[in-house]
Amino acid sequence: MSEKPQPRTGLARIIAAGGYSWAGLVFAIRREAAFRQELVLYLLLLAVLPLLPLPVWSKLALLALNSLVLIVELLNSAIEKVVDLVSPGFHPLAKQAKDLGSAAVFISLLLALSGWLAALIQIWTT
């Protein structure tokens, strides 16, 4: 096990935080299939978004809903990694923690789907 790095301050802390964030995104893209799938969908919907005849606020809301899915998936993946670290064998509480994280992703997907359905209904009825 390696030693914990010394805390940084000021600009060095901000730069290090950016590096940690980038490392997390790279890890998720390389190792997390669900994140990759949701990222592909995110990018496809992002490409469609400017083409829709919607007000800018509706487009921003859809962007926020789509981004929320990725954010929740990253948090779910983090929960899964920590659970695997502290409970390598099967434990009912470990399963519940993973199931709760999965439920959060599911709810964020339903929310994004609802937003897109509402946007499409608005387009079709105007």
Q: Which two tokens stand for residue 47?
A: 């490409």
Annotation marks residue 73 as catalytic? yes
Residue 72 burial class via C-beta count within 10 angstroms: exposed 0-12, middle 13-18, buried 19 and up: buried
- Of 3, 38, 73, 80, the catalytic one is 73
Contact 30, 38 (CB under 8 A): no
Q: Which residues are catalytic?
A: 73
